[in-house]
Every structure is written in C-alpha cells, then in structure tokens.
Amino acid sequence: MATVKLSDDFIYDVKVTAQAMHRSIPKQIEHWARLGKIAEENPDLPIGFVKDILISLQEVEAGEVSEYQFG
C-alpha cells in the first residue's frame, strides 16, 4: 500500500461529503477516484450518467433486478 499526502482542504471536503453520504473517508476518496477515472476514460458521458451506471451495477450485484416485459 502506498502513502499519499493530501491537502488539509481536500481532506476537509472529503470528510464533510463522506459524513453526508455515510461513507468512511477512505471509501469517499475511492468513490471520487473511481468517478474521476471513468470520467477521464469516457469524456463524452455526463457525470450523472456515470453515477447512474454505478448505481445500476450495485443493484445488479445485490440481486435487485427484474426482467423487463416488452409490450
């Protein structure tokens, strides 16, 4: 594991957001890093769309899906 120095201002922002989102500080940083990586790899996708995809993947992993009925 690597040690990374982060600014106090950034850590403060992470802490506030982590508390609001019920995440730990490391999990909040991982979340933002994942969003940033996906956004850089897919610059044409709006960030809201990326977030919706991540939520959908978690729903599938949790088994919260049902077959779509056409017509």
* 60 has a pLDDT exceeding 80: yes
Q: What is the mean pLDDT of residues 36-60?
A: 93
What would the two tokens of residue 52 be? 């919706």
Determine the Cα angle at 39 with ends 26 and 66, to 5°: 85
- This prediction has a pTM of 0.76
Helix, strand or coil, per DSSP, at residue 44: coil
Instruction: Name the nearest CA neighbour of 29 among 12, 51, 46, 54.
Output: 12
How many domains does the chain divide into? 1
Beta-carbon-side half-sphere exposure of residue 36 (alpha carbons within 13 Å): 6
Domain assignment present for 71:
no
Domain assignment present for 2:
no
pLDDT digits (tens, 9 = 90+) for 15-30: 999 999 999 999 999 9
* 14 has a pLDDT exceeding 90: yes
Domain assignment present for 68:
no
* 1 has a pLDDT exceeding 80: no
Q: What is the mean pLDDT of residues 48-59?
A: 92
Name the residue range of residue 22's domain.
8-61
Give the whole-angstrom CA distance, residue 10 versus residue 8.
Answer: 5
